[in-house]
């Protein structure tokens, strides 16, 4: 039996839960999933093509820089300027983005609506742009901040954007019902953010979770990045394999890992 090969490219990725999550999704052993650790997107694509992979997930820092190597991309990838999945069809590489779907599903799961509400987004990379895409398409009023504000686009999804610094973000924070963070914030950076109990905080990272402590201390609703991870993986894995993954097993694995890693 020929085993179809899939994988994850990025740098560094030795900590990634994706291989375990994929194994939980498809325990039958019909597929393999490997890490493609590479220092550049050029090297990652070379290893992908030379390794006989059918598809790869893409994570930081290659979500944007890998796009010039693909032959086709979805409309969402073009708008977001980032992808998190590449599938090889013959000699053609096709880029997809399921991060924006993950944000939408995570907020829906948390019963958090954003239409006509103020939301604050931290970061300007591929994950942040996917979140901005989802928020703006859903009708949110978006405030967008980053360490380097010039990395934030002035216009996104047809909406004018006023780039903010992290220190400026705190001025807008009280009005916001949702805060999405995609940055690996340091402790001093988190301390300038003053949350309140009416807010929902979503960290994109499931391993660092930089805003968890402050969110819980403030009595805010906190959502860890494991929900984002799960909800981008489900459609991503299905696009790769053309088979529905075992979502219940994926969920059980994630909850066990998060409980034993972050339980007080």
Positions marked active-site:
63
Sign, Cα dihedral of 235, 102, 142, 117 = positive
Q: What are the residues whose beta carbons fall under 8 Å from the beta carbon of 149, sequence distance 6 or more?
A: 163, 164, 165
User: What is the Cα–Cα distance from 141 to 171, expressed in whole angstroms?
Assistant: 15
Owner of token pair 């993954």 = 245
User: What is the Cα–Cα distance from 57 to 18, expressed in whole angstroms?
Assistant: 9
> Of the candidates 31, 1, 11, 15, which has an alpha carbon nearest to the alpha carbon of residue 206?
15
Q: What is the largest CA-CA distance in the chain?
A: 60
């Amino acid at each position: 039996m020929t085993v179809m090969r899939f994988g994850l490219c990025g740098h560094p990725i030795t900590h990634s839960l994706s291989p375990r999550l994929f194994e939980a999704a498809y325990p039958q052993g019909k597929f393999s999933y490997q890490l493609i650790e590479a220092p550049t997107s050029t090297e990652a694509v070379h290893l992908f093509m030379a390794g006989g992979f059918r598809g790869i997930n893409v994570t930081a820092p290659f979500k944007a820089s890998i796009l010039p190597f693909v032959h086709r991309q979805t409309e969402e990838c073009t708008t977001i300027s980032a992808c998190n999945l590449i599938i090889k069809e013959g000699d053609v590489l096709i880029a997809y983005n399921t991060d924006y779907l993950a944000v939408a599903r995570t907020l829906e799961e948390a019963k958090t609506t954003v239409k006509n509400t103020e939301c604050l987004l931290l970061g300007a990379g591929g994950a942040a742009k996917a979140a901005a895409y989802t928020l703006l398409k859903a009708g949110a009023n978006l405030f967008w901040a980053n360490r380097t504000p010039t990395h934030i686009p002035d216009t996104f999804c047809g909406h004018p954007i006023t780039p903010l610094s992290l220190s400026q973000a705190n001025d807008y924070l009280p009005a916001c019902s949702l805060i999405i963070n995609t940055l690996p914030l340091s402790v001093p950076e988190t301390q300038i953010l003053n949350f309140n109990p009416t807010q929902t905080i979503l960290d994109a990272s499931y391993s660092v979770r930089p805003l968890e402590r402050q969110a819980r201390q403030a009595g805010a609703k906190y959502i860890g990045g494991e929900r984002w991870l799960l909800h981008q993986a489900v459609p991503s894995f299905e696009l790769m394999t053309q088979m529905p993954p075992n979502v219940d097993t994926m969920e059980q694995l994630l909850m066990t890992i998060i409980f034993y890693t972050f339980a007080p």
